[in-house]
Amino acid sequence: MRIEHISHFERFLELKSEWNLLRPGPEPGSGSGSFSPALTHEWFSAWLQAFGKDIDLAILALFDQEKSAVSAEKLVGVAPMRIVRTTYRGIRCGQLRFLYNRHGPRCSFLMRDGYAHHTYALLEEALKLRGWDIAVLENIAHDSYLYELCTSVRDSLRHSTLLRRTMSSPFLKIAGSWEDFFNTRPRNLRRSLRSKERKLSAEGGMRIEHFTDATSSVSIMPTLVALGEKSWKARGGRAIGSQPESRRFYSLLAETFGKQGQVSVWLMKVNDKPAAFEFHLTKDKEVQALRAEFDEKYRSLGVGSILDKEIVKTLFESGYKEYDMGGESDFYKLRWTEDVRQHSELLVFSNSALGKLLCTVEKGVVEPIKRVVKPRKS
């Protein structure tokens, strides 16, 4: 076995053909072992082009050097990592992190079938990298190889560690008919949706447009950006187009995944004016939601809720299997499903002076406060 340290984007690009043969977890349909657009080579390529400035690329690629008739070695695992120097809890320090930020649903190491037992080798090698005081591995799905490893061997890493739950992300398993499913939803939800539909009708009605190819998805991006700036997310600079990096990122996703027929952009118009949108990626009848924004002017009409309903209805009628809503367990998502995917983050503190200080702050100050302010669920 050979582990290669990849620090140049050009070398990363050479791994595309084998990268997408890797998976974060063992079982198709588990959510971690099945479709995960945020772990594909195309996703990371777009992410690096949009957000890769001022980072030290530190991807670790594991190769099996066993000779074969096809190739001298094959890619069997990757750790998509970077090193950045920025603040953590107000302390400027070196950080070892995933190629990940709030735009992705989760992240993890990726392994080829039959090589899960080498996950530890990748983690151990990552912790040998120089220049970090704290490793922050965010939003690791509980059904992944990496999480299983974290729960079993983190005490043997020769570093202080902290493993804690982060988000519970709702997902909907799609089976049966739309009518039967909708009738299982809370009565107050159905009543509320009917009321909002009547209000929309009185305002002149609505129209929903659906874009699934690269050309139309890229061309509609300026409309999505303008719409996002009228949403509540814009106030905090978190709308789809609030930052040039995020505009570039979603434009690249629209183009790249659109060429493969794996982008799904929904736009609702009221009186022919953009009112709400959602941005998804799809593959093999599975859906990953990424963005949902609406014009505050239409809040009272419930345009976001109506668009949610129409999307879920279409997924049922079109034979989809799973709808991963992403993000936190927001109330409006839990109206559609009771199932959630648990995630945790692993913090590893280096043995440097800064690493020890960060460990003291996190374990001695932050964690006690978290237990008081937000008690853990049993």
* pLDDT of res. 66: 74
Say which residues have a Cβ less than 8 Å from residue 342's Cβ, sequence separation at least 6. 141, 142, 165, 168, 169
* pLDDT of res. 158: 84
* pLDDT of res. 197: 92
* pLDDT of res. 35: 60
pLDDT level of residue 377 (50, 70, 90 thresholds): very low
Q: Same CATH topology for 2-168+342-373 and 175-320? A: yes
More confident residue, 73 or 212: 212
Q: What is the mean pLDDT of residues 37-57?
A: 94
* pLDDT of res. 34: 52
- pLDDT for residue 33 is more than 50: no
- Rounded CA separation 51/334 (Å): 31
Write out pLDDT tens, residues 336-376. Answer: 999 999 999 999 999 999 999 999 999 999 888 888 876 54
Q: Where are the domains of the chain?
A: 2-168+342-373, 175-320
* pLDDT of res. 204: 83
Write out pLDDT tens, residues 204-243. Answer: 889 999 999 999 999 999 999 999 999 999 999 999 999 9
Indicate the length of the chain as a whole number.
Answer: 378
Task: Report pTM.
Answer: 0.90
Closest-CA residue to 247 (of 46, 82, 96): 46
* pLDDT of res. 378: 37
* pLDDT of res. 217: 95
Say which residues have a Cβ less than 8 Å from residue 103's Cβ, sequence separation at least 6. 47, 246, 249, 290
* pLDDT of res. 71: 58
Closest-CA residue to 371 (of 165, 170, 168): 165
60, 109 Cβ separation under 8 angstroms: no
Rounded percentage of the chain residues whose pLDDT exceeds 90:
82
More confident residue, 205 or 252: 252
CA angle 312, 316, 319 (to 5 degrees): 135
- pLDDT for residue 192 is more than 80: yes
* Amino acid letter for position 143: D
- pLDDT for residue 312 is more than 50: yes
26-30, 101-105, 304-308, 369-373: least confident range: 26-30
pLDDT level of residue 133 (50, 70, 90 thresholds): very high
CATH topology of domain 2-168+342-373: Aminopeptidase (3.40.630)
Closest-CA residue to 347 (of 205, 143, 137): 137
- Rounded CA separation 258/262 (Å): 6
Give the chain's radius of gyration (CA, Å): 22
Q: Residue 42 — left, alpha, or beta (φ > 0 → left; ψ -120 to 50 → alpha)? A: alpha
99, 81 Cβ separation under 8 angstroms: yes
Please report the DSSP string for 178-240 in residue order: HHHHHTTS-HHHHHHHHHHHHHHHHTT-EEEEEE-SHHHHHHTHHHHHHHHTTSGGGGGT-ST
164, 344 Cβ separation under 8 angstroms: yes
- Rounded CA separation 271/22 (Å): 46
Which CATH class for the 175-320 domain? alpha beta
